[in-house]
Structure formats: C-alpha cells, structure tokens
Structure 1
Amino acid sequence: MTGLVGFLFLISLIGATMAKFVVEKNSLTVTSPESMRGTHESAIASFGIPQYGGSMAGTLSYPKENRKACKGFDEFGTSSASFKSKPGTLPAFVLVDRGGSFNLIELGFSLPVLIKFTNYCFFALKVWNAQKAGASAVLVTDNVAEPLITMDSPQENGASAAYIENITIPSALIDKDFGEKLKNAISGGEMVNLNLDWREAVPHPDARVEYELWTNKAFVVSRQCQSQCINHGRYCAPDPEEDFSIGYEGRDVVLENLRQLCVFRAARDDKKPWIWWDYVTDFQVRCPMKQKKYTKECGEAVIKSLGLDLHKIEKCMGDPYADSDNPVLKEEQDAQLKKGAVLKAICSGFEETTEPSVCLSDDIQTNECLENNGGCWQDKAANITACKDTFRGRVCECPLVGGVQFKGDGYSNCEASGPGRCKINSGGCWHDTRDGHSFSACLDIHGSNCQCPPGFKGDGVKSCVDVDECKEKKACQCPECSCKNLWGDYECKCSGNLLYMKDHDTCISKAARTANVAWTAFWLILMGLVATAGVAYLVYKYRIRSYMDSEIRAIMAQYMPLDNQR
C-alpha cells in the first residue's frame, strides 16, 4: 500500500509540473453533420509533424476494435487493418481513446502492491499504430474531464525510439465531452468531416510574424542526440548513414570537422597553411568511411605523417563531452550566421513581394532595384517603376499606381490600363503644356486608346503636332475676317466694329446683333400670349359644355323619368 501511495504522489507531482507549461493549441472545426457544426480546441502533440501555417480537412472514423490503438491494427483483421483514403475522397482521420492496460505484479504480501507498470500505451504509440494503418491524422479523446494537456513523447528507450522519430502525421488531444459527441455521431451512421487548422497555433497579437524556440532537456540526453552531437547538444551533424544504430554517427562527422579546423590553425601558426590541404586530401584517401577507417586513430596518423604537433591539435579541439561552448566551433558558428540569422530564417518563409519592410532593410539584404532599376521598366518622368525588391532578389512586375493597373512584361513595357489611366502620366499617351494650356492624347475609356485632341494631328503616342487651322482648315474665310493660329486652336477677328460669329464664319455689326436680340424677344412674348389664349379658350369651352349637359338632363328628366325615379 505504501508503494501505491508513493506512486500516486509521484503522479500528482508530474501533473503539477506539466501544468506550468503552456499547452500549444490549434482549432478543430466540425463541418458535418449539421447538428455538430462548430469550432473546438485541441492540444497539439509534441511529436509528429503539425502543419504549422496551414490546415487539413478529412473524414473521421472510430475503429470498432483496438479503440485505444495500443496494438497494430493489422492484428484485428481486414476490417480494421487500413484507414487509407480512397481516390477522390478526403484524408482519413482516426479517433482513438486515451489510456491503456498495464499489468499488476503481485508480491507475496497479504495485499497486492503496485510496484511497476509494464506495456504502458503511450500517446506516441497510438499515433504510430494509426499511421501504419494509413491514417492522415489522429485525434485522441481524453478519458478524464480536465483541461487539455500536451501529448508528450515518452523517455526514449530501445522500444520507443524505433517509432517516435518516424511519426510524420499530426495528432492532437480533445476533451472528453467533445470526444463522446463525435463517437455518438459516428456510431449513429453520421459522416463526420473535420478541418484541423494550425494557422493560429503561433500567437501574433501585433500582426507581425512570431516564432517560438523549443528546447527539451530529455532530448539532449537521449541516445539520438548523444550520437549526433557533442558538447551536450551544442554542435550536431546528421547521421551520415541515417540508421541511428550502427556504423558512423553524426558526432564522428562533427569531431572530424573540428579536427580539420584545428589542423588549419596549427599549420597557420607554423607558417605552413598549405599543410591543411595536404591533411584534407590525405584523410580522404587514407580514411574513407566506406572502408570503416573514418576514425580518430586514422586522423591522428595522418597528422603525425605531416609533422604537425598532435598535442597542440588535441588541446585546440578541447573536451567534446563538456557542457560548455567549444571556442573553435563557436567562432565558426558566429562567422557563418553573422547578423540577423533568425530574422533571415523568418523572412525566407514569406512569398515574394509579401515580405514586411524589416525583411528588406539594408542589414538583411541588398536592394537590387537601386542599381540600373534592376533591369526593369521605369518611367522616370512619373517616377514609376516595375522593379520590386524582395528578400530573395528583385522581380519585374508592372505596378498598381493610384488604383490604376499597369500591364506589360515588366521588363521593357508597362502601360496603364482601364478607367482612370489618364491620371497616371496620361496613360502613356502624348501630352504637353505650353503657356498654361495642357493637352493630352489619352482617352479615359476602357482599353488603351491614344488619339490626338482637336487642333492636333499625329499618332497620339509619341507625338501630336499642332494643326494650322488658318491654312489647312481654311478657317476665317469671310472678307472682314483675319485669322491667327494658336497652339491647339485658332483665333478669328473682324475688322472695324464687327463681331465674329464662329458657327457661321461671318462678321456682323453689333447693332444688328442688338436688333436680332430685340426681335427674338418680341416673338417669344407673342408666342407666349398666343399659348395663354389657347389654354383659356379650351377651359372656357369645357365649362360651357358641362353646363349645357346638366341643363339638358334636367329638362329630359321632367318628361322621361329615369329608371331610378318614380
């Protein structure tokens, strides 16, 4: 009994410790059936590959057997052996139950005492079994009504390490109540479609890209990390044979790289830097990995054959097991990463032309549009360019200016298109201003039309030349007229006290014009009086006829009573 109490106390400590960590969540939306539509929270597992920044839709199923997924589904026959989706259907999501059986070991005491759990069904094992059966994602429903927790991976050992690193599908934990509703819907024959959304998994309260750095001490002391890294996980390399079990490991590669750096320093101090190249070429020939000679002993033999001080090189390499930075590798890292390494990694995740301005600063990258406009089209007069600076380089793309879209290849040509285009550099058409008068050949209609305005002739694009109306159009031909050509127009004057009538191309006296105005007023007044008399006559006639009709009806009623009169 004491052992059981101690175990329960340990479980309570673990729960209290886990409560200190922030549970990373994503949203889960039920799209069908109609009665269950809505969005719920789910806790993202610490293993597998969540689709950060994206979403995934699928159809949920609940297995009839092996519902805790503690065993491989292929052990339960063909009905439960595969969750692979058929062509043309949504990916298969699998719902499994939390928990798993364990064995009690009874001792020879008066009461059974729990001293050891065996065959515990970890979260990661459930997901691994479902993945092997073809599942695209896994939801684990909690068996206790409690706040969501993170499904963590177990401490790696020989059994669990074989599958944890091979889990490639996302998984999440949902609360007990929601899980029961999903089970009931599936059991009732409903088709349950879900959408998993990781786009809000990383918080961004200030509308900027956020990033999280994760660290896990258990991983640092794991067998995989110890085999691929030195200095307690500070400097790592991938397993050259990708097997994590036999042959050479990543840490062998890191140590050899460190040895070569120290060989270079020793050769430089001896004023014989070329010896480093001799070492690299000799090591490649004498210590190949395929012949199982990629070892410390082989490297030291090459160093001795070149006459270098082995003790000096070993001192330079330091202790690969020390829980501290290696000065040589730290300096190499700083030289490679330089300034803004994390920011550069974030900026590289943006699609071209969508990066925030901080990604385009001089500290992060070079603005290629500053030199020769990046080889793109530009209109210097209107200060418009098709060159767009991006994190990965420049792109030549016709711009959108003031609501007007330019169209073209972006390299040699861009033309304003659509309504309002004449506001932007006259839509690429001819335009000019002289003596305060401006003319443009742009027609502000759909399409890209350029037509010289009245008073000009030309192609409307490159040039419009003034037309001499006095000579070419023979304006001002009346005997009393004198013509003067203007830019885009002309001017006619009459001699003496005459007034020019442009519509009739003639000159008239001002007195005649006054007489004409008087006669016009007379006729207007006369027509108004006639119209008034006509209206009065019509009113008078209507009233007389109405009066006579009523009198006739009265006389006839005396001699011929109507139907409604006695």
Structure 2
Amino acid sequence: MRGDKLGFVICVWFLFMYESCLCKFVVEKNSLKVTSPENLRNTYESAIGNFGVPQYGGTLSGSVIYSKTNQNACGNFTDDIPSTAKKPGSRPVFFLTDRGDCYFTYKAWNAQNAGASAILVADDRPEHLITMDLPKDDENFDYLQNLTIPSVFVTNSLGVSLKKALENNELVLVNLDWTETLPHPDERVEYEFWTNSNDECGPKCDTQIDFIKNFKGPAQILERKGYTRFTPHYITWFCPEEFVSSTKCESQCINHGRYCAPDPEQDFSQGYEGKDVVVENLRQACFYKVANESGKPWVWWDYVTDFATRCSMKDHKFKKDCADEVVKSLGVDIKKIDECMGDPKEDVENAVLKAEQQAQIGKGVRGDVTILPTLVINNRQYRGKLDKKAVLKAICSGFKETTEPDICLSDEIETNECLDNNGGCWMDTVANITACKDTFRGKVCECPIVQGVKFVGDGYKHCEASPPPRCQVNNGGCWKSTKDSRNYSACIDDHTEGCECPPGFKGDGINSCEDINECKEKTACQCSNCKCKNTWGSYECSCKGNLLYLKEHDTCLSKDVATSGGWGFAWAVVLGVAAFGVAGYTFYKYRMRRYMDSEIRAIMAQYMPLDNEGEVPVYGSHGDI
C-alpha cells in the first residue's frame, strides 16, 4: 500500500499549494478518424492513456471489435475474437470496451493478450474526455511494464455509435493519428523531466530510476549535438502557514516550510524524512545549473544515475558525503553547488526551488504538472509508458519533418521505407544518389543536396544537379583515376546520367576504363620514320635519326631543312614588313606635301594674285559678304 499512501500525500500537498484549488490538468489528445461505415465518417478527439506506448509521430489503422461476452474487458477474451487477429499480415484489430468494473490498465492488458493492436475505452456517461491513469493501489507492475499497445479514451456518444454499427454487422474501420499530438515547429526539441530523488516509493520509483539509466545514452547524444534542450525539474510543495511549526512540517520541509516533500517511507518515526528528499532535489537542480553554465548540461544524467547506484536510501547512503563524492568524480565544482543550494535551515526563499514551484504551474496549453514523474516535450505533457524506446519515439516526433537526427531513424524505433523500391522516388543508379529520404513520419521524395550540390526536380521522376554540375558529386558515379600527375574521368558534365571513357581509354565508364595502346593498335605514328611510345591515356611519337616529328601531319622532317626553312620564312617576313613600311612612309610624305602646298597657296591667294590661279573665295559667318 506504500504507493497508494504516497499518491495520497502528494495529492494533499498539492492542494496545499493551491489555496483556491483551481488546478489546471490538461487532457492530452490524439485524433481518431472513422473511415467506415459511411454515416460515421468523421474525425473525433480521443484522450491518450497514461500507460502503454502511444505511437507519437505515427498512425495506426485497424478494424474495431466489440466483445458480446466481455464488454468491459475485465476478463479474458475467448470465442468472439476472430482467429485472424493474431495472424501475421492481418489487418490490426482494435478492441472497443466499456468503462468500469476494473482498472483501465487491466482492460488493456487483457486486450493485448488477445491480439489487439490498440484498445478504445468508451465512457459510460456523457462527460468530457478524461486521462486514463495508472492504478493508485495496484503494485503489480509486472504486467504494466509489459503493456505496449496504445490506449485511448472515447466519449460515450462515439462509443454508442460504434457499438450500434457493429450490432448491424457493419465493418468499422478506425485510424488513430498521433502525428500532430506533439508540436514539431523546428529542428530542435525542448523537453523537461519532472522527477524526484526519492527511491523508496516502491515500483514507481524503481521504474523512474531504470528509465533514467536506460535513457541516459540517447539523451546525452541528442544534447551533445545540439538536437535538444533538456531541463530537469523537481516537484515541491509548501506547508500551510498554520502548520509550519508542526513536527510533521518541520520533518518534511526546508526553509521554514517553504519547500516540502512527503516522507519517503510514510513512517515519520524512522528512516529518511521528506526534507532529506527536498535537499537532494535541490542539490540535483543546482548540479544541473552549474553543469549547464559550464557548457555540459548532459552531465546531469551521469550524476543522477551514479547517485542512484552509490547513494541509495536502501543502502543508507542517501546523504551529502556520498553526493559530494559523486560530484567530485564528475569534475563539477562542489563549492558552486553549495553556494547555489544556500542554507536549508534559514527562514528565506531559495531562488532555485522558488523557480521550480512557479514552473509547476501550467502556462498556455501545457497544464499543471501533478503527476510524478512527468515528461514535457515541446510544452506538451507526454502520456504513456516511461520507457526508453517509447520516450525516444515521442521526442523524435517533436522535430520538424525531415530534420530528425539519425538516432530517430535507427532500426530500434523506425523502419526505413526507402529500402523498398527506393520509396517510389527518383534515383540516379549510376551515382547512387536518391531523392528518397526516410523521416520519423515516413519517407518523402525530395531532391537531395549532396556535398554542397543542390539537385532540383519533382523528386519522383526527375532530379538534376543545379550548378555546380553533377560530376562534382561522387564524380557522377563514373570511373576516374590519377596516374603520373594526370587526371582522367568518365563523367560528362551535361546533366546526363551516362558515363563515357575519355579519349585514350575504353571500357564501360562506370567500373573501369582501360588505357588504349595506340602504338599496338596502329592508330598513331604511322609515318615510315616514326617511332611510337604508349603512355597512360595517350602516346608519344618521335622520329629516327636527325628528324623532327610534326604531329599535325604525322610526318618527319629534317631538322636542318626545318631550321633553314624557318629562317628563310623569318627573313621573308622581316623584309616584307620593311618594304611595307617604306611604301607607307613614301605615300604618307607625298600626301602631306600635297596637302600643305594647297593650304599655303589658298592662304596667299587671299592677299595677292598668283600665277595661273583665280581668286579663291573665303567663307565665314552669315554676316560676311
């Protein structure tokens, strides 16, 4: 009964915290769409149960069954369940059950054992949706830990409609959708974990500690690489002023009744006290604060797991000396942590715990944090089993689509749809470039960016490299090689998908290109005096004796002839240029002389008559006569 007592005490302390008792508990919902029968086709709201594994970020479709002999699912399902329900490849089956007579978790467990993929619990009265929670006084956590099917709570009216359709032998098909249950606005997920350092509350505390140990690895990977921003929180309560001086408040609270926690063993006469839990909560909160300021917030996971192992209440080591040893082993400044914690005996407010109490109060759509433990992802409370795989799946659904880190696409939690026929997307089989991208919510066909080169197209039938060209990306999937400082490639930068061996080589252009021996194949150096030498990708020709090879004409000439011919040509050019210069100069001088003579004669003619010349008219402005 220890778990029940703890739940009762937590509830009482929480009521103390809110004098007006106007607490805001938010029911987290997912979408339920009825696709058959036609008259019920619509989208309805359903409440996510706080157990099992909700398929955050995904969907699940199935046919609905309502047992005639086990309507409340409190017993084992027998003859009225189709034999195909458990067969691989068959359509998933959802069990519709009535509320009442046994725990919600027990209904789900019976449905899971009968082969159901999900359970729909219909309310037995007209009211708003509620959250199905874990039982308060059932310490049989064995079946709860193995409960994996998602559970949803539906309204009384929807339950009645579904049962009526089934009575008329109609096929009832339902699609459960969790894709928009958690916001996914950007490329980073922000999440909080509301926890407690108490390890004497029975199976619930054991489950919480096991989760922290198991989730430490993924949490630290996500945090180190900047994919997430994680913040731990600790629930505390305050003691009403009229009870501050009571023995029970003094044993459960610090800072004069301001920050309290229930007695771990629910026995005020022995063992640890609530104030011991509050002090360790404060130490863990300050540890995170100091580690975060040093740029290593993920070390919090190391501290909490090490403390739970080395300093447990069961081993009577739940105290400062043991905690300091853990802090020291992790290289965090103990003095800064002590300064952050302050003096728990003083009648003053503690800044850290005061902020924790204020953070408990819900803002916006989140609602108040009333359940221990509680995970808040992108400001929405997580519902379901506190399990590594389930929580990682929920966190991954908080990333903007197509930005999920690789850990979200691991085989452990996701199936790669791109492995089946490339997801129906475009693919360059030569360069091994695909437009199929696996995301947490399924595949998308989107032209990729490879090594800085952006491909554009519809992603389904066509993608091509936008400059720079495709040969810069994995050489277009074609053959390339380097030898003797020479580079050759079979990739053609014309946006085609083919590969062609360059001149001097032969082959398929993809796997290989072999050097062509031009000398052996008699395709080069064919003149009578030529000598051929094969090189990688080319060849070299030379001539016998004192001969010079002319590649353009594939012939050999005497070097003397070539030299004399060359000098003769040079002299001819020089003499030609000189002759042209003399002729030009003569012509220029003759023309200039004629021009100057005519100008002088024109000027002199204005003042005196010249032999054999008439008067030369002089032109000026319009005023001249």
The answer to whether the superposition gives a TM-score over 0.5 is no
Higher relative contact order (CA 8 A, sep 6+): 2
Which has the higher Rg, Structure 1 or Structure 2?
1
How does the TM-score come out when normalised to structure 2? 0.35
How does the TM-score come out when normalised to structure 1? 0.37
